[in-house]
Amino acid sequence: MEQERVEKAHHIVVLADQGQGHINPMLQFSKRLASKGIKITVATTLSNAKAMKAALSDSMISLESIYDDCSEGGVVGPGGFRGFLDRFQTRGSTNLTKFILDQEQTEHPVKCLVYDANIPWASKITTQSGIAGAAFFTQSCASAATYYPMYCEVFEKTPLFMPSFPFMTGLPKLRFPNLPSLGSSTGRYPPIIMHMLGQFDNFEKADWVLFNSFDKLEEEVVNWMKKLWNAVTIGPTLPSFYLDKRVENDSEYGFNIHQPNSSNCMEWLDNKKTGSVVYVSFGSAANLSADQITEVADSLRQSNIMFLWVVKPYEQSKLSSDFIKETSEKGLIVTWCSQLAVLAHHAVGCFVSHCGWNSTLEAISFGVPIVAMPQILDQTINAHFLEKVWGVGLIAKANDGVTASEEIHRCIREVLEGERGQEIRKCITSLKELAKEAIDTSGSSDKHIDEFISQLDPAYFRHRSN
């Protein structure tokens, strides 16, 4: 436990959006704040609260259910995803406002609402309740910089300051397949993209704009953002056990969609040589097509390389039973695993990834080179950075949305055995050290978190109200 404490614990409410990739970074930030003496309440749906209860039983974090999605079918209830969002906003905003106002009569009234930027209506609650607000972006700074001009174009806003970076040259087009429907398309972008661009609505009114990144990883973009907003990097938001070890009992994320098969994975990896295993996983949300799964399987079949492959339950039927039999001596297929433990294992030498931002940060923090197979949205931006900017991986190029087995095999071989692979390992080892440095004592992210806390005093709020 960290030694420094604020004199009297302030109260922060954290409002996370749906999905494992959104919830876990905000939970980790909550744990970091709680370790510094801040009272934390995580506001979420009833189903998420139930799922997180056991994992957070020993922490200083409280859970508050603001919407009973269990009785209304969640995202598959009436109206689908659109219906869920509407109900969550209507009932969630009412219940959250009431909770915050009720806390005014307690020993620890709420001082600040940290909300996922994908929930723009949360900013109105801060205004109505008279508390500070912090918009939390669970994507990279570069992704936000890419989306911002798109937002200005779609909603006919005058850009405050347009980004112009060399690394944006050559960015691939964003892909939109396998996204939930929010209605019929009537303009240039699908409705789901219009919803995602809504993260920029009102966020310029936020007291802080928080990013799960660190200064030296995206320095140029961070400096640009600071010209527009009070942008603050507070990452990487990995469990403390894998970085600075300053937060007690913090070795796992607090939320899993699928049940991990951790012991089986670790026992299997323990018998493998250092850097000899390819870890393949496409995250919690991506749903690979049958053609793409076949190509991944063929790339692993034609290689003598050991592999650990996460094939989610709903993808199992797309995988040939012959493949499992043919590769049983060199591969292990699981429905889910503790990715943190796997990437931290000495046997893993390469990560074939969809390049979701959490997976990207984890690979960097553990120093594991990446073969990038982005599927949708900001994953293409992250993959571009991995290869073109940071030099810590290779993009396995797709043709008509599917990456061929030969291309996947080529990239894996190059990362593990080629000259390019040697340079990649040097680059990612350097970034690994910078990631640990950022969150450790007096690192850039650690300082930013302390500065954020220091502003939660009465004098600050009196100044803000004036």
CA distance 332 to 311: 10
**Amino acid 433: pLDDT:** 98
- Top pLDDT among 186 and 404 is at 404
pLDDT tens string 204-214: 789 999 999 99
- Top pLDDT among 423 and 166 is at 423
pLDDT tens string 262-313: 778 999 999 999 999 999 999 988 889 999 999 999 999 988 899 999 999 8
**Amino acid 331: pLDDT:** 95
Given 10, 22, 195, 384, the catalytic residue: 22
**Amino acid 173: pLDDT:** 66
Structural domains of the chain ordered from first start = 11-246+440-465 (3.40.50.2000), 262-434 (3.40.50.2000)
The sign of the torsion formed by the CA atoms of 292, 295, 296, 297 equals: positive
The verdict on whether 22 is a catalytic residue reads yes
**Amino acid 182: pLDDT:** 60
The verdict on whether 400 is a catalytic residue reads no
**Amino acid 20: pLDDT:** 87
Computed over every residue of the chain, the mean pLDDT equals: 88
Mean pLDDT of 454-466: 55
- Top pLDDT among 381 and 4 is at 381
**Amino acid 177: pLDDT:** 58
Mean pLDDT of 184-201: 73
Mean pLDDT of 360-381: 95
Mean pLDDT of 52-70: 84
Lowest mean pLDDT among 140-144, 257-261, 340-344, 347-351: 257-261
pLDDT tens string 424-436: 999 999 999 999 9
pLDDT tens string 218-273: 998 898 888 888 999 999 999 999 999 999 889 999 777 777 777 789 999 999 99
**Amino acid 3: pLDDT:** 41
- Top pLDDT among 84 and 235 is at 235
**Amino acid 28: pLDDT:** 95
On the question of pLDDT at 441 being above 70, the answer is: yes
- Top pLDDT among 5 and 307 is at 307
Given 116, 207, 215, 250, the catalytic residue: 116
